Structure 1
Amino acid sequence: MKGNTITTGGNIPLPGQQRPSTIILTQTRRFGIDIGSYMNALRAAESIDFPQHAKLYDLFEDILMDPHLSSVINKRKSAILCSVIEYRRGGKPDEKINEQLRSPWFLRFLGDAFDAIPQGNTLVQFYRDKKTGWLNYIFIPRKHYDPVRKLILKRQHDITGIPWDEFDDLLFIGEPRSLGELAKAAPWVIYKRNSTADWAQFAEIFGMPMRKYTYDPDDESALEQLKENDANQGSASSWFLPDGCNMDLVESGNKTGSSDLYKSLVDTCNSEISKLFLGNTLTTEAGTKGSQALGTVHGKVEERIAQSDRKFILNLLNYEMTDIFLHLGINTSGGEFCFAEPKMIDPTTKMNLFTQASSLGLEISKKQMYDELGLECPENEKDTIKRPQASSFLPQTDAIEEEEKRNALSEKKPPEKKKGGFRNWWKSFFVKAPEAGNHGAPLEW
């Protein structure tokens, strides 16, 4: 059986199917779960010798219908799916391998690989499509393999199966006995679902005004007439009491409000689920104690979790998938997979960088500049832009320095004497006497 492909199907063969399916699928059992069914599924999955995961994964499929749980998982998964992964050899991207990484199968594979974190593990089988030449893979249902004994189970409740070493290009992701993060989230989803059901029943009963009827106990026809009239007035709570009888609704005194009790329990369950997968609550819900500083701290915690998920994916690609890639004709030796960091620069900043580079005398590629600014490059133009002349829009350094020197000299020049005035005329009336250093005639006295 070495080299065969694992196939899945139902009890009835599909049209055109020539061989029986390796795995016979069973419909997922949904709803009707409580804490008792959760504990039974958990004990069956944790069995040492013959673990049974069917009940647990049916429960996982059920709780994933919860909107809050699915949203926080998708939020964490989107950090992987929205990132660009590329293969570099010698520091340069390898376009042949990156072409495979941009294909739809790789995006689906990243999602299934990440699901090993919330669901415990993932098993896939790779193959190359003979018609298109693209790589592809088959996802093995988690209920149909035993990760501890490494068996492929034909039916989900089997305890014996086919050793998966007999199949080529199988990749197991995760730990054999790991149950995943969903095993921790399941009790909170169950409590939340039951509380919401009680809340809905409370709203149905007490959300509308109740009708109270009193009748004469001696008049039997009066009761029947009241019931008939009540049925014609629509759905609402109705009470039929004989004269002299009374009925009071006594609420518990240790709670602030009837509806607040259910809402508080639902919010608590959502909060615990958010902390389990995202490490915080402020990035998913707006609380009364929210602030920008607190939101920044919670955002950093979430970013660290995203970095951990990225390392998980890179370790999978760089270490565990190298033999599979080589067997399928893709040589990944001498290089590594990495996340391409996006350049989050706005067009104004890019234009300033190009202007500064040009002022320093650096040659700029026209094609790169047009691509970065999102403009269409005209044809028949030179590929580089040299430093512009002095008459261009760039400031002239020499002219600026000359202007600064003239301003400095004008500030050091002493102020001119004021002309006119009696004091100045009186001082100029007398001639200044010669001094010893002058060569005038000596005085006789």
Structure 2
Amino acid sequence: MAASVLLDAYGQPIRKAELKQEQGGVTTRGVRQPVGRHQAPGLTPGKLANLLRRSIDGDPEAYLELAEDMEERDLHYAGVLSTRKRQVVGLDISVEAAGDDADSVADADLVREVISRDEFQDELVDVLDAIGKSFSATEIIWDTSEGQWMPGALKWNDPRWFTFDPTDADTLLLRGENGDEPLKPFGWIVHRAKVKSGLTIRGGLARAVAWTYLFKTFTTRDWAIFSEAYGQPMRLGKFGPDASPEEKAILLEAVSSIGTDFAAIVPASMTVEFIQSEVSGSHELYEKRADWLDRQVSKLVLGQTSTTDAQKGSYAVGQVHDGVRQDIEASDARQLAAALNRDLVVPLVMLNRGTRKAYPKIKIGRPDEQDIEKLVDNVVKLVPLGLKVGMSTIRDKIGIPDPGSDDVLLTPQRPAAPSAEEPETKKPAAHAALPSSADAVDRGVQDIIDDAWEPMMAPIVAGLEDELSAAKSEEQAKAIIARRIETMGVTKLAEVLARSAFAARLAGEAGEDL
């Protein structure tokens, strides 16, 4: 195959002409209908077991319809599932360049431009539909109007429109008017939620929640019947022995109306009594069962119950469960980032800038708890010692984007140039700065400061710069300096100090004042 042909991650050739045409969406012949059937009404254990079995055998449509029904009908499941999706979408999204060279930085800037679109976070919610249904397929609608390949939209497609290749029961296929067809390379973001190992269709949360949903449906239905039967007192109408059939009908209508309209009229010869029912059971049984089932769903979806159900000691329980929830959040974030890097970042860079040995990566997660001030301080200290640090790495760490070509750049302030009267190299004032009362000792010290410090320190620092340049960390640099202090030569220093002391003593014996 020619080297110019682009290949996707699975070795399939990229046909750019096909990418300009939408592959998914609603079909005119009804193969992909906009509205599906509802499986929740009349759901029984037998019906549920049957549609779950059919989803594994290659017909997942009924199961996916039920998964949609559960999100619409079970408020608790809808709430916790939405929390899990939107918590991931609300995390920080960053782009890490593949290197510090100009091409790598430009590649990363291109990806940043795409994820900065206003619609991007809402599109990620659609991609995360896979958490409940086990997979999602989002078509990339490429926009080439300005000569670049840019995602004009990431379009959600109903999971009912897809099936799996019967050969491996895992390769996703799009239902088409001419049969099932493979997804075109570089045209789709396919996200598979890895809630559990196994076939993709068995990996979503909806499969486990389905049984809880069924039992809760039975519970709430029985609860409604109980409330209807025992929530109001029985209305008993009494009529006399001479009442005609018409009067009896009037009395029955009146008693029935009291239950709905709370008002009725009856002849004076008739009476209506309200008899308080003696309930042997209690509605708390149904409430406790429904709450227990909701807690099981919370454990599955969020990994904990403390943030959704008020319990004794819920604050302490929340502290214990908070780490578990973060694990689930981090796992969802990693899986989402992997899908975006494979199906969005690589096609984006390859179509616009060509193939690369390494591509930029999208990172999704909470920011590291890192002391930025300490990081910058360490870099300032170690870079002069030879530590090599990538500029893009530091920018990513401190959250500063790469500057644009038109940006006004901040530069370090340079010292002012020396004036004509002022020499370029200016030594500290020597004897002129000393007071008139300075003696020979003061003068000797000043001489050391002015002229003798360079030859005095040369043997001590000889070779130190080379050693520090080879240091790879601040700890190694500190160790080198400590070792030099212990073993450094001090011969010249001792000689200068001895001469100064001797001169000061002679001046003292001779009575020299200056």
**Above 0.5 in TM-score?**
yes
The alpha carbon displacement at 1:111 in A equals: 2.0
Q: Distance in 1 between matches of 2:351 and 2:221?
A: 52
2:235 pairs with 1:235: no
Is the 2:133–2:205 Cα contact (8 Å) retained in structure 1?
Answer: yes
Q: Secondary structure of 1:64's partner?
A: helix
> Among residues 91, 94, 105, which one is paired with 1:83 in the alignment?
91
Q: CA deviation digits over 1:296-331, x for unaligned, max 9? A: 011111111111111212222344555433443267
The structure-2 alpha-carbon separation of the partners of 1:223 and 1:120, relative to structure 1 and needing over 3 Å to count, comes to same
SS of the equivalent of 2:258 reads coil
Please list the CA deviations of residues 95-154 of structure 1 after superposition, one character each: whole Å capped at 9, or x if unmatched: 332111111453244223322222111223324213465313333321122223443213
CA contact (8 A) 2:130 2:204 kept: yes
Query: For residue 173 of structure 1, what is the aligned residue in structure 2?
Result: 191
User: 1:27 aligns to what SS in structure 2?
Assistant: coil
How far apart are 1:45 and its partner, in Å?
0.7
Gaps of 5+ in 1: 12-19, 358-371, 373-381, 386-445
- The answer for the alignment partner of 1:315 in structure 2 is 338
Equivalent residue for 1:276?
Answer: 300
Matched, 1:306 2:329: yes
Are 1:37 and 2:55 an aligned pair?
Answer: no
Cα distance change, pair 262–82 in 1 and its aligned pair in 2 (3 A): same
Aligned to 1:58: 65
Aligned to 2:36: 27
**AA aligned opposite 1:112:** D
Deviation, 1:79, is 2.2
Alpha carbons 1:8, 1:21 under 8 Å: kept:
no
Structure 1 residues 318, 152: CA separation in 2 closer, same or farther (over 3 Å shift)? Answer: closer
Structure 2 CA distance for partners of 1:228 and 1:251, relative to 1, 3 Å: closer
Q: Is the 8 A contact 2:164 2:173 kept in 1?
A: yes
Give the Cα separation in 2 of the matches to 1:90 and 1:302: 31
Q: 1:281 to 1:341 in 2, by over 3 A?
A: closer
Aligned position for 2:267? none
The normalised TM-score by structure 1 is 0.63
Aligned match of 1:325: 348
CA contact (8 A) 1:209 1:237 kept: no
Give the Å deviation of 1:273: 0.6
Cα contact 1:10–1:26 (8 A) shared by 2: no
Which residue matches 2:161? 144
1:153 aligns with 2:175: yes
Q: Which moved more, 1:257-266 or 1:111-120?
A: 111-120
Matched, 1:126 2:143: no
Which position in structure 2 is the counterpart of 1:297?
320
Give the Cα–Cα distance (whole angstroms) in 1 for the partners of residues 294 and 135 of structure 2.
Answer: 25
The offset of 1:168, in angstroms, is: 5.1
Within 1, Cα distance between the matches of 2:47 and 2:220? 19
Question: CA, structure 1 residues 161+171, in 2 after alignment: closer, same or farther (shift >3 Å)?
Answer: farther
Rounded to whole Å, the distance in 2 between the matches of 1:311 and 1:23 is 31
Per-residue Cα deviation, 1:139-193 (whole angstroms, up to 9, x for no partner): 33211222234432137xxxx7242155652343225443511011012122223
Q: Which amino acid aligns with 2:164?
A: P
CA contact (8 A) 1:117 1:181 kept: yes
Gaps of 5+ in 2: 1-14, 167-171, 193-198, 264-269, 378-398, 400-409, 414-514
Residue 266 of structure 1 is matched in structure 2 by 290
Cα gap change, 1:91 to 1:197, in 2 (>3 Å): farther
Q: Distance in 1 between matches of 2:31 and 2:257?
A: 59
8 Å contact from structure 1 (residues 123, 142) kept in 2: yes
Identity %: 21
Amino acid at match of 1:296: Q
Task: In structure 1, give the amino acid aligned to 2:335.
Answer: F
Separation in 1 of the partners of 2:360 and 2:82?
30
Picking from 26, 33, 36, the partner of 1:9 is 26
SS of aligned partner of 2:304: coil
1:335, 1:228 → 2: CA distance?
76
Residue 193 of structure 1 is aligned with which of 217, 232, 242?
A: 217
- Between the aligned partners of 2:141 and 2:315, the Cα distance in structure 1 is 50
Contact 2:26/2:32 (<8 A) preserved: yes
Distance 1:218 1:187, change over 3 A: farther
- Answer whether contact 2:111 2:345 (CA < 8 A) is retained: no
Give the superposition deviation at 1:10: 5.7
Partner of 2:111: 97
- Find the aligned partners of 1:340 and 1:38 in 2 and give their Cα distance: 37
Rounded Cα–Cα distance in structure 2 between residues aligned with 1:141 and 1:287: 38
Q: Secondary structure at the match of 2:318?
A: helix
2: CA distance, partners of 1:340 / 1:219: 79
**What SS does the corresponding residue of 1:138 show, helix, strand or coil?**
strand
Greater helix content = 2
Give TM-score, length-normalised by structure 2.
Answer: 0.56
Separation in 2 of the partners of 1:344 and 1:384? 29
Native 8 Å contact 1:145 1:152 kept in 2:
yes
> Structure 2 CA distance, aligned partners of 1:167 and 1:267?
46
* 3-state SS of 2:138 partner: strand
Shift of 1:251: 4.7
Range with bigger deviation, 173-182 or 320-329: 320-329
Asked if 2 retains the 8 angstrom alpha-carbon contact of 1:87 and 1:338, the reply is yes
Mapping for residues 418-433 of structure 1, pairs under 5 Å? none
CA distance in 2 between partners of 1:383 and 1:324 (Å): 37
Instruction: Report what 2:436 is aligned to.
Output: none
Aligned-pair CA distance for 1:217: 5.8
Q: Which residue of 2 aligns with 1:69?
A: 77
